[in-house]
A = this chain, B = another copy of it.
Amino acid sequence: MMENVTSAQTISRHELRQLVCNQLHTLLERENWEGAKALLIPVQPVDIAEAIEGLPDSMQAIAFRLLSKDEAIEVYEHLDSSVQQNLIQDFKRQEAIEIVENMSPDDRARLFDELPAKVVRQLLAQLSPKERQATALLLGYEEDTAGRIMTPEYISLKENITVMQTLDRIRAQANASELIYYLYVTDNARRLTGIVSLRDLVVSSPEKTLGEIMTRDVVSVTTEMDQEEVARSIQRYDLLALPVVDKEARLVGVVTVDDTIDILEREATEDMYAIGGVQGDGDKYFQTSLLVVARKRIFWLLILLATNTVTGAIIQTQGALLEYTGQAIAIVAFIPLLTGTGGNIGAQSSTVVIRGLNTDELRALGPLQVIFREAMAGLLLGTSLGIMATLWAHYLMQKNIFVALSVGSSLVVISLLASVSGSSLPFLFRTLGLDPALMSAPFITTAVDVLGVLIYFAIARSILN
């Protein structure tokens, strides 16, 4: 068996997962339940969840019922929320309650967020009082805050108990608590006073008290803190878990490092979508219906269509004014080059500033420093590109040096404008309390279009006259 596992890993875990998924499908089609059960025994819960997600809807519940009760609960927590919802509504009442009762409270709160209110009420009513209270507590906090994502399952102890007593306590409680690598020390008012890692505990002599070995300078967050801030703290201090306290500094929950990874990933997706001009909160784009997807994308497109109409109107009126030069078409033909380049430089500046603001890299630098630096970069890029564009334009235009010079000098001005607006608008948005990523690349691109065309016509007119 060991041989098996090791060689499968060197093939690639991904291929192994695909294999399991295909085999499971075949076995279920042949109604070979025992074979399917045997297949899943050595597979990790998260991989079983993926295999079930890959099955046709009609088979998902059947596959799920093959699992042992403990396994079913673990697998269920790893399923996609749409599959979770389908299954829970397929199950008999008793089955559904059993699974929901045994989920960890933070995962359960996340599921309840997605289920229809009616189903949530029914399920809540049937939970044990302890679990119901834990869930209601979490659901009481704002979405995306520490309170909502924490788990209320942790071990808290008093200062005066000994290492030996603590180890006994852990042996008794280990199954109840999601994470026992940190133990929390609280006073009589349940206020957090210190932290002891399981590692500290194991290496300390058994008769010492927790008060003697605990770390008193605890990094903690409050329930209303934004989940991204929470994740950043865990990242910054290299923690496995972060305690959450209420306004009276009483310990109420713990956020774990595995949630951190998912939060930061979702936030990164959200930023990336914003930069690409897609609205959304980092949720699963490809599991969303086409109409919702279109709605998420049309917002920016409409704004851009409107501003582009303005650009069109400017070209039309200004272009007509230029017809006496006999060069109108030649001049207008360079507009895509100018607005395209300006838009790209602006997109670059806004991308680096947005990412810098959201990963804390920019916390140390002031806005003026950053904008100045971007302005310099814009000038440097604009000048190099401007020289090249002048040469190209000159060659293309059969030696009309005036149009070529207009193009080149406009490019310098437009690049400077683009990098300054691309870098300053995210700061402005943050100052207004909005997400800097709202100030995304498509917006900058289009704003630069309108101004760029105006600048170009002004320069072209003064050079051609």
List A residues at the B interface (Cβ < 8 Å): 1-2, 5-6, 9-10, 13-14, 42, 44, 46, 50, 53-54, 167, 170-171, 174, 180-181, 191-193, 198-199, 201-203, 216-222, 233-238, 240, 245, 249, 257-258, 260-262, 264-265, 268-269, 271-273, 275-278, 284-286, 290-291, 293-294, 297-298, 300-302, 304-305, 308-309, 311-313, 315-316, 319-320, 323, 328-330, 332-337, 339-341, 343-345, 347-348, 350-352, 355-356, 359, 361-365, 370, 373, 376-377, 380-381, 384-385, 388-389, 392-393, 396, 441-442, 445-446, 449, 453
Contacts and interface: CB of A to CB of B under 8 A. Distances in A.
A-B CB proximity, top 6 nearest:
A276-B351, A268-B268, A308-B337, A315-B333, A316-B333, A319-B329
Contacts of A278: 348, 351-352
17 contacts: A2-B193, A5-B216, A9-B221, A167-B202, A181-B199, A198-B202, A268-B268, A271-B272, A275-B441, A278-B351, A286-B362, A301-B344, A302-B388, A308-B336, A313-B333, A316-B396, A343-B445
A52 to B, nearest CB: 12
A275 B277 contact: no
Given A271-B272, A344-B277, A305 B355 contact: no
Nearest to A449: B336
B286 A258 contact: no
Given A312-B333, A332-B333, 8 more contacts: A1-B216, A6-B191, A44-B217, A46-B238, A170-B203, A174-B202, A275-B351, A308-B336
A371 B113 CA distance: 31
Given A298-B384, A305-B388, A336 B352 contact: no
Contacts of A389: 305, 309
Given A273-B352, A312-B333, A337-B308, A258 B285 contact: no
Contacts of A330: 316
A235 B261 contact: yes
Nearest to A170: B202
Contacts of A238: 46, 258
Interface of A is mostly: helix
Copy total for this chain: 2
Contact of A237 (B46, B359, B453): B46
Contacts of A202: 167, 170-171, 174, 180, 198, 201-202
